[in-house]
Amino acid sequence: MPTHLITLLVAVIFETIGTTALQASQQFTKPLPSVIVVISYAAAFYLLALTLKHMPVGIMYAIWSGSGIVLIALIGWVVFRQTLDLPAIIGMTLILTGIVIIQVFSKTATH
């Protein structure tokens, strides 16, 4: 796997950690989760900046945000017991399908 995709994957992981901690911070009233939010988002955006050396911003952002949406929804379902209805599952499946199409077929995914 190319280094820039690994960097993007790690950025998605940091963003997912930050967003999960955002829920746990209870609107920044809990200190530890609040610190995790700030550190995780800072790391995610730093890694996104590195990824931009190899990918156009639109493609990079589509992959990052789409992957984050799906991972956060799964974490919400498993950790916070939030329900996902059929339209939400279908929508996230379409998001993942879009990411796969970009990676497999797009010639603009890297520059």
What confidence tens digit (pLDDT) does each residue in 4-54 have?
A: 999 999 999 999 999 999 989 999 999 999 999 999 999 999 999 999 999
Does the pTM surpass 0.75? The reply is yes
Q: What angle do CA 20, 10, 18 make, to 5 degrees?
A: 20
Residue 18: closest CA among 77, 71, 62, 57: 71
